[in-house]
Amino acid sequence: MVEHSQIDESNLVTQLQEGDRVAFRMVFERFYTRLCVFADRYVNDREASKDIVNEVFIKFWKASKQFQHIDHVLASLYLATKHTALNHQQAVVRSMKRNFIYQMDVGEEDTFYLAEITSTEMFNELHEAISKLPEKAGRIIRETYLEGKSNQEVADEMGISLQTLRNQKSRALAILRSRLSKDTFELLIAGAFVIHFFQR
């Protein structure tokens, strides 16, 4: 069992970026069980849920250098677990269809479409809020969070210092936090990591 006191939570992101296995183990032990429960809501299969979360943590470890803030960790793990669970379910459905034994349950179909509608509404809300930001601030948010570019990369492209970019980014995030729903804002802060995560 990892001694959590060995790692100050405020330094957790730095430790993860450095490939610290103790920091990774701390995150794993803290969130593994609750992520399994979360995945099971989608797949209704405890063993499959464990496999899904194990897969998420394998990719999480490989991409740990991408984190820039502690808020990214939990949001990204949940979003990645949901994505992987839905992919698992889609694969199961395709397999069942190929064997002619799958019958669509109307209630499940409605739930699926409701999830799709909710996701679309969140992205619409997000993009609308970003479009109302000042031009440079909007560009910084789009490129660092939705396109997966690093702060340094965007700063170089815009011809500004890294600190200037960070200041503008911080102000833009404060504006978006006040305008967006909690779920949509979490989707935003997880965006850069998730894009990188599933491109690997």
Last residue of a domain, one of 103, 126, 148: 103
Structure confidence by residue, pLDDT tens digits, 177-186: 898 887 777 6
Spatial distance between the Cα atoms of 106 and 118, rounded to a whole number of angstroms: 18
Last residue of a domain, one of 103, 134, 157: 103
How high is the mean pLDDT of the chain? 75
- pLDDT band for position 156 (cuts 50, 70, 90): very high
- What is the pLDDT averaged over residues 87-114? 52
The pLDDT of residue 187 is above 70: no
- pLDDT band for position 157 (cuts 50, 70, 90): very high
Are both 116 and 35 inside the same structural domain?
no
Are both 92 and 143 inside the same structural domain?
no
Structure confidence by residue, pLDDT tens digits, 2-38: 444 444 566 777 787 787 788 888 888 888 999 999 8
Distances (CA, A) of 104 to 101, 109, 133: 10, 7, 43
The pLDDT of residue 74 is above 80: no
By percentage, how much of the chain surpasses pLDDT 70? 68
Composition of the chain by helix, strand, coil, percent to 5: 85, 0, 15
Q: How many domains does the chain have?
A: 2
Are both 119 and 87 inside the same structural domain?
no
CATH number at residue 24: 1.10.1740.10
User: How much is the pLDDT for 43?
Assistant: 82
Window from 95-99, 107-111, 137-141, 163-167 with minimum mean pLDDT: 107-111
CATH number at residue 167: 1.10.10.10
Question: pTM of the full predicted structure?
Answer: 0.45
Last residue of a domain, one of 77, 103, 129: 103
CB-count exposure of residue 130 (10 Å: 0-12, 13-18, 19+): buried
Are both 39 and 96 inside the same structural domain?
yes
- What is the pLDDT averaged over residues 61-81? 76
Domain that holds residue 150: 112-200
Phi/psi for 68 (5° steps) reads -120, -10
